Amino acid sequence: MAGRGAQTFKKRQKEQQRKERQQEKFAKRLQRKENKDTPGMVDDDTLGLDDFVDDAADESAIEAAVQAAVGTGAASPSS
Q: What is the pTM of this model?
A: 0.40
pLDDT at 23: 97
35 and 46 share a domain? Answer: no
pLDDT at 66: 79
* pLDDT mean values, one per 10 residues, the chain (79 residues): 73 96 96 82 56 67 80 55
7 and 35 share a domain? Answer: yes
- Could you tell me if 50 and 44 are in contact, meaning their C-beta atoms sit under 8 angstroms apart? yes
8 and 34 share a domain? Answer: yes
Contact partners, residue 50, CB within 8 Å, separation at least 6? 44
27 and 7 share a domain? Answer: yes
pLDDT at 75: 52
pLDDT at 4: 64
